[in-house]
Structure formats: C-alpha cells, structure tokens
Amino acid sequence: MTDNLGPLRQAMSELSEHGGSADLYEGTLRRSRQLQRRAAVTTGVAALTLVFAVGGTVAFAVDHWPDRSASPATTPGQPDCPTVETLGDLVELPKDWSFASADVQCAQTWAAVEVKRPAGGNVRYLFHYTADAGWRYQEQGTEWDCEELGLTMPAPFCTS
C-alpha cells in the first residue's frame, strides 16, 4: 500500500498560505468591555443597596425617635397650647376686632386670648379642649373662676 499524500499535502500548503494568523485583538476588546460593564453595574447596585440600607435605618430611627415637639411641661392627656392662628380659625371676630397679641394663655384644657375692640377695653375669648372635638370656642369675658372651670391649678385668666 502506497500512500499518495502528495495532493493532500499540496492542498494543505495552499490553505496555510491563504489562512493567515489568528487575530485575537477583537475578542480581547470585546471581553474587556464586557468586564467594564459588569463592574459598573455591580458598583451601581452596591451603591444603591448602601443608600437604601442607610435610608431605611434612618427612617426607622426617626420613626421610633421620641417626640421632641411636645413641650416638657405638657402632662400626658393634656393638649398642647394652641396658636392664635388655630383659635382664629374657630371664631369669626366682628368687624374691626382683632387678637391683641400672639400670646395664648393656657391652663390644662383651657386657653384664653385677648381681643381688641374699637370701642376700647379688651375682652378675652375662652376656648376649651376635649379629646373628641378638639379646641372649641367657649365664651367671652374678662376673667373666670378656676374652680367653676374645673382647673386644679391657677391660670392667668382666672380670678381664683
């Protein structure tokens, strides 16, 4: 048996002359870009995770933070002293009447504010707080009896 490999060798020689060398440059660039994208996405996800973790911790802490807006003198079950604006929304003052100052005098569930009248002489509006209705206008006058109002401590708008 004789092997006639001459034509095969000739064909392989011709193929090797035309084939050239393997070019790995494009594949290397593609892989490098893929790794850069993967690193950027991983970094972004890690940063977002950190932001949400810190934000969630802060939100949880703030939600469970003691209420600092409550006055230290406020007794549990006692309302905060209302503002003049809050009380002004509850009444409609007659023409040319106005609140004399921004100070509201409070004692337990009662509040009073001075009102100026054009005829002279100031008068006070008295407001009462109940848990179911909130602040409500009670009456107007100059002074009230603390015992009749059920106050257990002196108030600046009471006679006794």
For residue 57, what are its two tokens?
A: 């911790």
Q: Are 116 and 99 in contact (CB under 8 A)?
A: yes
Taking only the tens of pLDDT, the chain with its 160 residues reads 567 888 888 888 887 777 666 678 888 889 999 999 999 999 999 999 999 888 888 887 777 766 544 444 445 567 888 888 888 888 888 888 888 777 888 888 898 998 888 887 778 889 999 888 889 999 888 888 888 888 888 888 887 6
Euclidean distance between CA atoms 112 and 141, whole angstroms: 10
DSSP per-residue codes, 73-106: TPPTTPPPPPPHHHHHTT--PPTT-EES-S--EE
- 76: which strand partners? none
3-state secondary structure 138-159: EEEECCECHHHHCCCCCCCCEC
